[in-house]
């Protein structure tokens, strides 16, 4: 159920060292623990760091099949409760994407959840398809008339279809082998196709400020990037970076209060509870990368 790495899974260097002691074991995992809206902040796996590329990864790491089987059982109604804010976030991503690729084409969203991003893209004229392991989420997306493949990118069969854009929004940190994921994305893209990656930045100011309580330290996150390791991943998989940005979210005050123990009591004030859910805030924490890169043809 656990894989012990002797080499970096990103650059294959053998120069790896212990980075951080974790508290997790496979017996502690459940679909509830890895849902999108979990709040087990501070819980991590034992982590190693590559001295050559700075990539940080769970070591030992849960096997891919085990992780995929758990995600297939995930149910997360709280994700849909925040649909308004998530749609605002996704519209901003699409706006930036369309500055780089004005002509609408075929878009594949990996880790599509209930299809909120796909639905926004479809409204703007994109031909969309999603991949999502959770059966619960796929059923919701399909009821909206969206095409979503139930399973992982690894299970997704390559046919003649190629995509203009493939998005990996908060996906890479959930997989034990992000290089394999991005290599498959490369094969699925059309010549000069674009990849959009959103993933946490381990060396961000907020990560350093909050230390072991950083909210991206959670059971579902198996790997962590800094700028150097993410650039290395894209170079090794033949991508040219077009734009680096800092990602931001839109959430309701109600959702934010539910994440913070010292404000949780505010949710139980009847005269205020309905107000919190209507107030949307842009949360520019600066602790995640938002990267747009273009496929390069191999020499």
pLDDT of residue 1: 76
Residue carrying structure tokens 């959930």: 174
Low-confidence residues of the chain: pLDDT under 70: 251-281, 283, 298-299
pLDDT of residue 255: 61
User: Distance (Å, rounded) from C-alpha 168 to C-alpha 182?
Assistant: 9
Domains and CATH numbers, the chain: 2-248+284-295 (3.40.50.150)
Instruction: Give tens-digit pLDDT for 162-207.
Output: 999 999 999 999 999 999 999 999 999 999 999 999 999 999 999 9
pLDDT of residue 265: 44
**Strand 189-200 to strand 288-295: parallel, antiparallel, or no bridges (unpaired)?**
antiparallel
pLDDT of residue 282: 74
pLDDT of residue 266: 46
**Cα separation values, 75 from 134, 253, 255, Å:** 7, 23, 17
User: Distance (Å, rounded) from C-alpha 196 to C-alpha 208?
Assistant: 25
pLDDT of residue 39: 79
pLDDT of residue 264: 47
Give yes or no for a contact between 138 and 73, defined as CB atoms under 8 angstroms apart: no
Rounded to two decimals, the pTM is: 0.91
Give yes or no for a contact between 98 and 116, defined as CB atoms under 8 angstroms apart: no
pLDDT of residue 275: 55
DSSP calls for 60-85: SEE-HHHHHHHHTT---HHHHHTHHH
pLDDT of residue 267: 46
Q: Residues 6 or more apart from 229 whose CB is under 8 A from it?
A: 10, 50, 53, 54, 55, 56
pLDDT of residue 284: 76
pLDDT of residue 159: 83
**Strand 16-20 to strand 47-50: parallel, antiparallel, or no bridges (unpaired)?**
antiparallel
């Amino acid at each position: 159920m656990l894989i012990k790495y002797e080499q970096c899974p990103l650059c294959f260097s053998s120069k790896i060292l212990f980075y951080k002691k974790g508290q997790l074991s496979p017996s502690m995992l459940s679909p509830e623990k890895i849902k999108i809206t979990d709040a087990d902040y501070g819980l991590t796996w034992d982590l190693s760091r590559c001295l050559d590329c700075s990539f940080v990864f769970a070591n030992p790491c849960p096997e891919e099949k085990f992780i995929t089987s758990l995600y297939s059982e995930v149910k997360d109604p709280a994700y849909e409760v925040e649909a308004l804010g998530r749609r605002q976030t996704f519209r901003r991503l699409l706006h930036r994407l369309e500055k780089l690729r004005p002509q609408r084409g075929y878009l594949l969203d990996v880790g599509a959840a209930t299809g909120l991003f796909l639905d926004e893209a479809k409204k703007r004229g994109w031909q969309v398809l999603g991949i999502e392991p959770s059966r619960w989420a796929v059923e919701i997306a399909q009821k909206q008339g969206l095409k979503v493949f139930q399973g992982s990118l690894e299970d997704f069969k390559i046919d003649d279809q190629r995509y203009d854009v493939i998005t990996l929004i908060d996906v890479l940190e959930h997989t034990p082998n992000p290089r394999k994921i991005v290599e498959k994305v490369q094969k699925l893209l059309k010549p000069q196709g674009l990849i959009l990656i959103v993933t946490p930045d381990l060396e961000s100011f907020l990560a350093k400020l909050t230390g072991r309580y950083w909210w991206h330290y959670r059971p579902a996150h198996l790997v962590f990037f800094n700028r150097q390791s993410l650039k290395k991943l894209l170079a090794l998989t033949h991508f040219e970076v077009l734009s680096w940005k800092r990602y931001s979210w839109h959430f309701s005050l109600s959702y934010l209060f539910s994440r913070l123990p010292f404000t949780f009591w505010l949710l139980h004030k009847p005269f205020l509870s309905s107000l919190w859910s209507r107030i949307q805030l842009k949360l520019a924490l600066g602790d995640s990368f938002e990267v747009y890169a273009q496929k390069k043809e191999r020499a």
